[in-house]
Amino acid sequence: MKKLSAIQFGLVPKLLLAILLGVIVGQLQFIPEFILQIPVTVSSLFSSLLSFIIPLMIVGYVVKGISDLTQGAGKLLGLNALLAYSSTLIGGFTAYLLASRLFPLFIDASVRNTVQEEAVELEPLFTLPLEPLLDVTSAIVFAFLFGIFISWLREDGKGEVMYGFFTEFGAIITLILKTIIIPGLPIYIFGNFMNLSYAGTAFSLLSVFWRVFLVVIALQLFLIVVMFMIASFYTGKSPLFLLKNQIPGYFTALGTQSSAATIPVNLECARKNGVSREIREFVIPLSATIHLMGSIITITSCVTAVLLMFDMPHSFGMMASFIATLGVAMVAAPGAPGGAIMSALPFVYMVGIDPSGTLGNLLITLYMTQDSFGTAANVSGDNAIALIIDKIYSSYFLKESAKGEVQAEAAPVD
């Protein structure tokens, strides 16, 4: 018994267990309705808290994110940001184009009719009228204005007090996510799926989920290979050698669900690939924050699936604006499990989804159960970017006298 009690379940197993239990409990007709309303009430309260936190997340993360990215922006910083953003956009647009053509093959009229039909859902026993301090639009404008102007002040040696304030504010928001929001997700999702099961729509949703996962993971792996093929072509190194060196980084991210926690392992992968010390120590930590190719593939695919299931508009123009905004917004994502979806959630209103409503709940569930693979794709792409930047750095930035020293220090390790 002691061994069983010592077992620590990760977040993904907890979420999958919450979905399974929710579906089962929702089908148990002998349980009194008021008992079933208790977890529904908890989910409703959690949803209100999430709505309250979302604008504060935007302020807490985006202000500091913009301040960090714009202060002292040099050529390498600009190049790293350009490559990371381009990779993120390619991932998002590829995911949308694939999802919009492939998903309708299994999200047909019968699935749409089932999830859209009028069903009697359980109502919470009570609700809490918790209004956000700011609406999402106000929080975005506030964050961008303050971020830009704090960065300008810092270039003149000022603004450190405000920068420190928003740094600590962001740290508080991260602590709230780690101690309340993320641990509470299994309970939140249990209540949602129990209600969906009670209403008779859970099985149709689950029949879609697993197919979406297969497409997402396959696309992530494909784009990782493509990125390393490009890096291989540009640097003249063997693609198999580079991919083999990335395996520890990929599986570390798969286990930790955190880009930040994978940085030490990813730095070692970069060293084995022959990336110079100064470039790998600059590019890998920065890319862990600004490069989210795997995450945007997951979010774009999940959003497209939800829009298709509920027969909502999903035109290229609308999704293009969403993907372009998401590529910037997710720079604010904390390096913790679920950070990307929590940073992206405030912007799903751009495609007609209420971030705190039923569809927002579905997006959280879809994303969180696949978060590990998105993180693994993110960090793997970081090393492909590091290889390209290191080649550009040694070819165009370094003086001839320094090239030999850097190349000797960065010799690949078999």
At 154 the pLDDT is: 79
The rounded distance, in Å, linking the Cα atoms of 136 and 145 is 14
Backbone angles phi, psi at 222, to 5 degrees: -60, -45
Nearest to 26 by CA among 200, 194, 190: 194
The rounded distance, in Å, linking the Cα atoms of 209 and 254 is 20
Computed from CA positions of residues 284, 74, 71, 79, in that sequence, does the dihedral angle turn out positive or negative? negative
Backbone angles phi, psi at 276, to 5 degrees: -60, 155
Give the Å distances, CA to CA, from 392 to 104, 226, 234, 236: 42, 19, 10, 13
At 228 the pLDDT is: 95
What's the pTM value of the predicted model, to 2 decimals? 0.69
At 257 the pLDDT is: 67
All residues at 6 or more sequence positions from 346 whose CB lies less than 8 Å from its CB, including other chains:
54, 55, 57, 58, 136, 139, 140, 329, 355
Give the Å distances, CA to CA, from 386 to 51, 108, 263, 266, 383: 37, 42, 13, 11, 5
At 72 the pLDDT is: 37
All residues at 6 or more sequence positions from 53 whose CB lies less than 8 Å from its CB, including other chains:
173, 176, 181
At 358 the pLDDT is: 66
DSSP states of 308-351: HHTT----HHHHHHHHHHHHHHGGG--SSTTHHHHHHGGGGGGG
Give the Å distances, CA to CA, from 155 to 62, 67, 328: 18, 10, 22
The rounded distance, in Å, linking the Cα atoms of 181 and 190 is 14
Query: Fold for domain 11-23+32-119+131-409?
Result: Proton glutamate symport protein (1.10.3860)
pLDDT below 70 — which residues of the chain? 1-12, 58, 61-62, 65-66, 68-75, 108-121, 136-137, 140, 200-206, 255-258, 260-261, 331-339, 355-358, 361, 397-414
Angle between helices 202-235 and 358-368 (to 10 degrees): 50
Backbone angles phi, psi at 307, to 5 degrees: -65, -40
Give the alpha-carbon dihedral of 206, 208, 214, 219, to 10 degrees.
-140
> What's the token pair of residue 338?
């679920």
Backbone angles phi, psi at 278, to 5 degrees: -65, -30
Classify residue 412 as exposed, middle or buried by CB count within 10 Å of its CB (0-12, 13-18, 19+): middle
384: left (phi over 0), alpha (psi -120 to 50) or beta: alpha
At 185 the pLDDT is: 75
Residue with tokens 């569930």: 365
The rounded distance, in Å, linking the Cα atoms of 245 and 273 is 7
Strand (E) or helix (H) holding 183: helix 182-199
Backbone angles phi, psi at 398, to 5 degrees: -75, 145
The rounded distance, in Å, linking the Cα atoms of 262 and 379 is 8
Other Cβ atoms less than 10 A from the Cβ of 156: the count is 7
